[in-house]
Amino acid sequence: MKLRKSKIQNIVFVYFIFILIGYTVYTVNTSYISDYLRQTPKGLMTVYFFIFILIFLYSISQIKILLKSDLFTLICVYLILVLIQLTNVVYEATFNEYVKSILFCTQWINFLLLGVIIGYYNQNIEKISAMLLICVLPFLMINLIKLYQESSNIIYWHNPDFFFSIIIFLPFILLLNNKIIKVLLIIISGIIAYISMKRSIIIGYTFAILIYLILQLTLSKKNILKQNTKKNQTFIILLLVIFAIIIFRQINTFVFKEMPITPLQRFEMINETGGSGRVDIYKTIWKNIYYGDFYHFLFGHGYKAVLKINDDMLAHNDLLEIFYDFGFLVLFVFILIAIKILSYGFKMLKRNDRLYFSQIISAFFAGYLLWIILGSLNCFIYSVVYFPIMALFFGIIIGFYHNPFRIKNMIDIQ
């Protein structure tokens, strides 16, 4: 009864946070649509800081819930190590820059803990996902229209990173209960991923959907309630695949017919371009790590130090960025956190004795694979939007796993 009362008290706060997230995503994209390489506006930093403090205070008030997961200990160790490293920023920059560095490095932790609390208080994750998408999708739609108006054509987007703010919500889409809306949003996300011209987004989307479909079919075999369930699902999936192929062929034929290059041709150019210069970036960073001293190997070179050796470009790989900037110790703890998050997926797999879990498990592994792919080819670790949103997704699943009414009150979201 007490938990139920707490849930009602917190639902308004969750709506408020989700609207703030939508507004933040909108403001970030709006700020960079016309001027992609500009500095973060002061007004936007104020929004970041407000959300950071709000979520932090809320998490502190729910500390008993967070302590139920042993992931919390690893998070605290990571946070302490990073904050110690960030003290160097105080001596090299202004206090405002120091605060900014804290926001950029730890916002994902805030969102992960928020997700744990939200998942703990809610038995139906589908409703949470629907709430978030309702609060965010209208903002993204406006952003997309503005981006199209500002860009000369779909090959030369003024802010190509905008498309990350769409693909990161794919795991939430996969949790939706309404199959028609879910399929429509999956198809729309796929089309947008394709026209984004960003190879990492196309790869991430493709493999995330693939693993989701494979797990849905595999897990449904263990939970068949009707003889023809699997046949129906297979038939629907085949229709979707055929439909998707037709759609993408039409896009390639008509949308890109007057363009100098198509997304498929960009993949063919990987050997020529070295992954848009990624190979050279990785070589430079590894060379500096290899020839560096043991102290910097353990503790890193400082916040965004990669920029100093890499022509003002980040590492385009989260693990490499963490390794060079914060050292092996922080990297090791971060990998432990990633492994611990993944372990929750396998825990649910082992306890998959009801139809309820299959969709959540499938969405979880799809989201995890998407995160690995995007984080391996881009730099998400310093993002105050992309990585935090994905961390929120994982947090909700983890919180739901610890929900005391999860087993007692099963809700079929299939």
Each residue of 191-202: pLDDT tens digit? 888 888 788 898
Question: Can you give the residue range of the structural domain that contains 344?
Answer: 2-401
Q: Is residue 412 part of a domain?
A: no
- 8 Å CB contact between 41 and 31: yes
State the pTM of this model.
0.86
Lowest mean pLDDT among 30-44, 46-60, 93-107, 259-273: 259-273
Task: Quickly state the pLDDT bin for 308 (edges 50, 70, 90).
Answer: confident
Residue 408 domain-assigned?
no
Closest CA to 136 of 207, 60, 189: 189
Q: Is residue 411 part of a domain?
A: no
Contacts of 20 (CB under 8 A, 6+ apart): 47, 50, 51, 54
Largest Cα separation within the chain, whole Å, is: 68
Q: Does 341 map to a domain?
A: yes
Q: Report the domain count for the chain.
A: 1
How far apart (Å, rounded) are the C-alpha atoms in residues 361 and 231?
21
pLDDT tens-digit map of 248-265: 555 555 545 545 555 555
Q: For residue 413, is it within any domain?
A: no
Tell me how far CA of residue 162 lies from CA of 18, 30, 106, 109, 193, in angstroms: 19, 9, 21, 22, 11
In a domain, 152, yes or no: yes
